[in-house]
Chain A
């Protein structure tokens, strides 16, 4: 078994709320992804059993949604927006900067297995471009200095927490702050 009792319980709780149990497929994939960090056929099999749907229905849904990596990634998945609003604020050069800084190309993982870098479509952070997402957090209005300190913070976090807890690095521009960032 890959999914923990906690994850299974969360899936079952969600399933009970929907008028149709099949609606819990996407929430189940989300919960599994939150626990494991990626998805694979063994997980689909477990989800299919919990939701009582054929394996293929879970697999075909999972393959459609790009938010869930299907391969292992580094501890921190850097998802850099490369869409138009971010690009107009230097996202292309930011991507080059991060690649140079981490010594990896787009799609690769650092040797210490800490960072995987990918570029993604619009994340809805357009007014605070350029931006990227790591785990649940949006890092916005990025500059070279902010990237430097973000990477340094994540490295420190990982070292301190032995790679078991999620990042506690504070986003520089949490979207709950000033109206300039609204």
Chain B
């Protein structure tokens, strides 16, 4: 399968600007400056069908087109590198091993939306990826790809690498902006959308690392080439992070529309220990509903995964085998969302705390009759009632686990213990 984002991922020198250029780097940028006006860049990205790789899958070109052309305010681009969705570890690799591809994408995007300041918001724990990006930024300044009058185009751009403080919520675009402004990372009510009023009350585009890294290849090879990969509505390739109970966990780039079974069985080598069968799959990061073993052939594209009842999300495939008690899985997930709720809005702050309390007491063997319905009731009072998607992200896997494995919760409450005692060896 053609590798686009991962073409040079095994080249240990690829993170250096000399090697990046040797391998065709910054040619897309030269082409953009020479042949395209900013609005033509937006049109081309629109027609490429590139969709946001952070989780929502929103069309990138459309997002850019919301930035007002005649606003007197400065425009900003924030590259969202706050990769924190459990199961996801792809942006880290792209930043560590091929940071210039992302930078080239950032410059192209900034040119299109007329931004002269871009920020790369990297999660604080990613010290090594951040160092690689910092080095890449410095090298790009030294070679004239950043700073004043880039490649003689008259276009100026500064990039600031900003590291976070260990808060999942800062990967949510409005919380990212709050954090970047020096505040607690609290999400904001939309509208206004960031494209109209974002960072420092100015028009702002927030794009994921992988989305931006996809741009150079689109401009190098053209829309038809890009659209020849993937499906009509989900064109291109995407990196999937495979984790959990498979033989070969890892990051794998595939064309969108490739069956999930190909990633798990062919690339991932199948189940970690063949005596334990597949129990469930989380297809798009911990916030997404489960897929069941009979859905393993679902194509990995936005539409097919949605039809199957889940979401492609960030592309983090978590494989769960039959050694796991699903109450335990639900507990692991809800503990995370409760911990990461920013606390700004009541349904999420209180709701996730209640869910945590109830699910933990079931797991401890102290569950009460009516607890399952109580969980569903609390979920219903969170879903769709919060400022940002974190509340929904807590509800979706929880509801889905109960839908498919209600009997394990019932068993827990009745027998005060797990039906399958989770005990993954170490």
Chain A interface residues (CB < 8 Å from chain B): 17-20, 22-27, 29-30, 53, 57, 60-61, 63-68, 82-85, 87-94, 97, 120-130, 133, 136-138, 143-144, 174-176, 178-182
**Known contacts A23-B181, A88-B243, A88-B318: A64-B165 contact under CB 8 Å:** yes
Residues on A with C-beta less than 8 A from B88 are 124, 126
Q: Known pairs A137-B127, A179-B10. 6 more at Cβ < 8 A?
A: A61-B183, A67-B125, A83-B86, A124-B125, A126-B249, A175-B92
Q: Among B189-197, B333-341, B355-363, B374-382, which stretch is in contact with chain A? A: B333-341
The answer to whether A126 and B426 touch (CB under 8 A), given A26-B164, A133-B125, A175-B92, is no
| Inter-chain contact A124/B92, CB cutoff 8 Å | yes
The residue that B332 contacts in the complex, of A17, A84, A137, A179, with Cβ under 8 A, is A84
Give A66 to B167 CA distance when docked, in angstroms: 7
CB proximity to A under 8 Å, residues B134-175? 158, 160, 162-168
**Complex Cα–Cα for A179 and B423 (A):** 29
Chain B residue contacts of A144, Cβ below 8 A: 426
- Chosen A-B contacts, 17 in total, with CB atoms closer than 8 Å, are A25-B182, A65-B124, A65-B167, A66-B167, A68-B165, A88-B243, A90-B426, A92-B424, A120-B166, A124-B84, A124-B126, A125-B89, A126-B86, A126-B318, A127-B243, A127-B250, A130-B426
Which residue from chain A places its CB closest to the CB of B316 in the assembled complex?
A126
Chain B residue numbers with a CB within 8 Å of A57 are 182-183
Residue of A nearest to B15 (CB): A176
Residues of A within 8 A of B117 (CB): 19
Contact among A22, A83, A93, A133 for B181, CB-based, below 8 A: A22
> Which residue of the partner chain, among A67, A121, A143, A175, contacts B86 with CB atoms under 8 Å?
A121
Q: Are A26 and B182 in contact (CB under 8 A)?
A: yes
Is B248 engaged at the interface, CB distance under 8 Å to the other chain?
yes
Within 8 A of A (CB), among B307-338: 316, 318-321, 324, 329, 332-333, 336
B250 contact from A19, A124, A181, Cβ within 8 A: A181
Distance, CA A25 to CA B143, complexed state (A): 31
B88 to chain A, nearest CB (A): 7
A121/B125 in contact, CB under 8 A: no
Contact residues of B between 73 and 125, Cβ < 8 Å to A:
74, 83-89, 92-93, 96-97, 117, 123-125
B414-426 Cβ-contact flags toward A at 8 Å (1 or 0): 0000000011111
Partner of A180 from the list B9, B84, B243, B248 (CB cut-off 8 Å) is B248
* Complex: chain A residue closest to B186, CB-CB: A64
Convert B259-300 into 0s and 1s, putting 1 for each residue whose CB lies closer than 8 angstroms to a CB of A.
000000000000000000000001000100000000000000
Docked complex Cα distance between A124 and B332 (Å) = 16
Q: Determine the distance from Cα of A75 to Cα of B100 in the docked complex, in whole angstroms.
A: 35
Q: Are B128 and A20 in contact (CB under 8 A)?
A: no
Q: Is B234's CB within 8 Å of the partner chain A?
A: no
B426–A93 contact, CB under 8 A? yes
Q: Check if B179 sits within 8 Å of A87, measured CB to CB.
A: no
Contact among A53, A67, A87, A89 for B182, CB-based, below 8 A: A53
Q: How many residues of B contact A (CB 8 A)?
A: 69
* Partner pick for A64 among B89, B185, B316, CB 8 A cutoff: B185
**How far is the CB of B86 from the nearest CB of chain A, in Å?**
4
Among residues of B, the one whose C-beta sits closest to the C-beta of A82 is B332
Q: A65-B164, A121-B336, A126-B86 are in contact. Are A26 and B244 (CB under 8 A)?
A: no
A65 touches B165 (CB 8 A): yes
A127–B242 CB distance below 8 A? yes
Most buried by A among B164, B320, B332: B332
Determine whether the beta carbon of B87 is less than 8 Å from that of A84.
Answer: yes
Q: Which residue of A lies closest to B199 (CB)?
A: A19
A127–B184 contact, CB under 8 A? no
Contact A27 B162 (CB under 8 A): yes
* B422 → chain A closest CB, angstroms: 8
What's the Cα separation between A175 and B185 when bound, in Å?
28
- Cross-chain contact B182 with A30 (CB below 8 angstroms): no
B241 at the interface (CB under 8 A from A): yes
> In residues 6-25 of chain B, which contact A (Cβ within 8 Å)?
6, 9-10, 12
Nearest Cβ on chain A to B121's Cβ, whole angstroms: 10
Say yes or no for B231: interface residue by CB 8 A criterion.
no
Is the Cβ of A87 less than 8 Å from the Cβ of B332?
yes
Task: Knowing A23-B182, A175-B92, A176-B12 are in contact, say whether A84-B318 is a contact too (CB < 8 A).
Answer: yes
Q: Taking the complex as formed, is B187 at the interface, i.e. its CB lies under 8 A from any CB of chain A? A: no
State how many angstroms separate the Cβ of A119 from the closest Cβ of chain B: 10
Residue with the greatest number of chain A CB neighbours at <10 A, chosen from B117, B163, B165: B165
| CB proximity of A51 to chain B, nearest CB, Å | 8
- Distance from B245 Cβ to chain A, minimum over Cβ atoms (Å): 6
Contact, CB under 8 Å: B425 / A23: no
Cβ-closest 6 pairs across A and B: A65-B165, A67-B166, A90-B426, A22-B182, A93-B426, A25-B182
Given contacts A19-B74, A30-B163, A126-B243, contact A90 B425 (CB under 8 A): yes
- Please give, as numbers and ranges, the residues of chain B lying within 8 Å of A91 by CB-CB distance: 424, 426
Q: Indicate if B218 sits at the interface (CB-CB under 8 A).
A: no
Cα distance A97–B127 when bound, in Å? Answer: 27
A87 touches B424 (CB 8 A): yes
Interface centre among A83, A130, A137, A179 (most CB of B within 10 A): A83
A89 to chain B, nearest CB (A): 6
